[in-house]
A and B are shown apart, each in its own frame.
Chain A
Amino acid sequence: MITFQSVIITRTTPMKVLSIVLNGKTVTAKMGQTILDLARENDVFIPTLCDSPALEPAAMCRLCTVQVIEGKWPKFVTACNFPLRRDAEVVTDSPEVRQGRKLIIELLMARCPTSRELQRLAIDYGCDLGRFSPLNDDCVVCGLCTRACEAVTGRTLSLAGRGTAIHVDTAFQKASTFCIGCGACVQICPVNKITMEDVDGERRIILHGKIASRVKLPQCTSCGKFFGPVIDLKQVMERMGEHLIPPPNATVCPDCSRRNLAIKLGKRYFEQYGVFEEEGQADAG
């Protein structure tokens, strides 16, 4: 029985390699490679918001939308998850694409005007920030925190509600007892609206101005300092894919170990904006 996949292969090129015209330049791509991946390989910049190298793409923010022409007509697709399966032409910065990204940024700025990342994008795309009345100064519903939480324990954060009422939440809006305080959500939030504080031996994750979880911290029997929980990194690596996260350094204390892990999670995202916090969490913006 001929499978669908093999039919495609015989129609294009024999060695699972595709010929893609990327912004006018011909490059080669692997069968099934995403446009975003291909663009990064070829130093073509496509803005993203809800993308993370540690997680499966969700294509929720739509910021990475580009145009692809596989047959006759161009279509708009998200670069982060569109798999190239035929020879095609890709245009990442056409006027229509830029116009759409401009609108996305304007709409999201109305949800979170204080975000540095969004402000930077707004300048790049010439956004008119007076067009839409501000709705909030909070979450941009990128879903990164819930996806990161799901990858670690999956028991704390989810996207509740729907439509405009969609919001990140814990079960019954109560402080979660399942959270392990790993801080992945804090580190990965691109607009820095999730924060973490350690108070009197208790770690609190704060979201939408409320305490979303409380985690009792163990106290060092030697120095008396409270320290964060040791994450079962093996579990994390299994879930996220070993190739994305380097093996933990056993001589590093839990604080630094956690920070390193979280930095790796958000590394590529922060880097493209030249934002690379050395100490604590990125809440200076």
Chain B
Amino acid sequence: MSGTVCACQENSKEIEIDYGLLDKIIRDDYGGNREAMIMMMQAIQQVYRFLPEAAVEYLSQVIEVPTTKIYEVATFYASFSLEPKGKYILSVCTGTACHLRGSGGLAKHISERLGITPGKTTPDMKLTLETVNCVGACAVAPVVVIDEKCYPKADIAMLNDFMDRLNAE
């Protein structure tokens, strides 16, 4: 969700776009059907870990939807990123059950230790911090998700451990 100056595409200048792969996604997997645009964008993001401007422009040409409309969709839905994400994506669940068990404090701790706010990536591009609204594992709250794997009953010690190991990499 961007509302400030978009520095997002600076990094994308180095990204090599594989148009053949984009064709496969857009035309083969989704039949060029603009109703599936959101899923096409998710598939493209899966490849590049964000939505490069050049890929958006190509998508715009193929399915004949103006780039401004694709940009509108990319900035509306929380799962899309116009900035490259880090190697690891750490999502702290902020659902009610997790919140009542202190997930807010966990997010704050990571923020303070790494110097980034939720939605942002560390300068060394190792970690992106995000918050997610309830993954449905309320019984083992608070939950932290790292690269689609759920970590139950997360606490500060576990997070410190993860961040220490990350530093060592």
Q: Which of B24-32, B69-77, B87-95, B110-118 lies at the interface? A: B69-77
List B73-128 residues whose CB lies under 8 Å from chain A: 75-76, 82
* In-complex Cβ contact of B75 among A155, A161, A176, A178 (8 A): A161
B33 at interface by CB-CB < 8 Å? no
Checking A155, A157, A167, A172 against B3 with a beta-carbon cut-off of 8 angstroms, the contacting residue is: A167
Residues of B within 8 A of A170 (CB): 68, 71
Contacts of B82 in A (CB 8 A): 172
Residues of B with C-beta under 8 A to A176: 68
The verdict on A156 contacting chain B, using a C-beta distance below 8 Å, is yes
**Which chain A positions have C-beta within 8 A of B68?**
155-158, 169-171, 176, 178
Interface centre among B6, B53, B75, B82 (most CB of A within 10 A): B75
CA distance A57 to B89 in the complex (A): 41
A169, closest chain B residue (CB): B71
What's the Cα separation between A171 and B61 when bound, in Å? Answer: 14
Contact residue among A156, A157, A159, A161 (Cβ-Cβ distance under 8 Å from B1): A161
Distance of A212 from chain B, by nearest CB (Å): 10
Is B9 an interface position by the 8 A CB rule? yes
B side interface size, CB within 8 A: 19
Between A and B, how many residue pairs show CB distances below 8 Å?
58
Can you list, as one digit per residue, whether each of A132-176 has a CB less than 8 Å from chain B (1) or not (0)?
Answer: 000000000000000000000011111111110101011111001
Whether A158 contacts B69 by the Cβ 8 Å rule is: yes
Asked if A155 contacts B66 (CB within 8 A), the reply is yes
Closest to A163 in B: B1
- A161 and B66 in contact, given A169-B71, A172-B71 (Cβ under 8 angstroms): no
Given the interface contacts A172-B9, A172-B53, A172-B82, does A160 sit within 8 Å of B2 by beta carbon? yes
Across-interface contacts of A171 in B (CB, < 8 A): 56, 66-68, 70-71
Interface centre among B3, B5, B6, B53 (most CB of A within 10 A): B3
Closest to A164 in B: B3
A156 to B71, CA, bound (A): 11
Q: Contact flags (1/0) for B118-146 with A, using CB distance below 8 Å?
A: 00000000000000000000000000000
Q: How far is the CA of A87 from the CA of B67 in the complex (A)?
A: 45
Scan B1-17; emit 1 where CB is below 8 A from any A CB, else 0.
Answer: 11101101100000000
Known: A172-B53, A173-B6, A178-B66. A158 touches B72 (CB 8 A): yes
Cβ of A158: which chain B residues have Cβ within 8 Å of it? Answer: 66, 68-69, 71-72
A interface residues, Cβ below 8 angstroms from B: 154-163, 165, 167, 169-173, 176, 178
13 A-B residue pairs with CB within 8 Å: A155-B66, A158-B66, A158-B71, A160-B75, A161-B3, A163-B1, A169-B72, A171-B67, A171-B68, A171-B70, A172-B8, A172-B53, A173-B6
Seed contacts A169-B72, A170-B68, A172-B56; 7 additional CB < 8 Å A-B pairs:
A158-B66, A158-B69, A158-B71, A160-B2, A161-B3, A172-B6, A173-B6
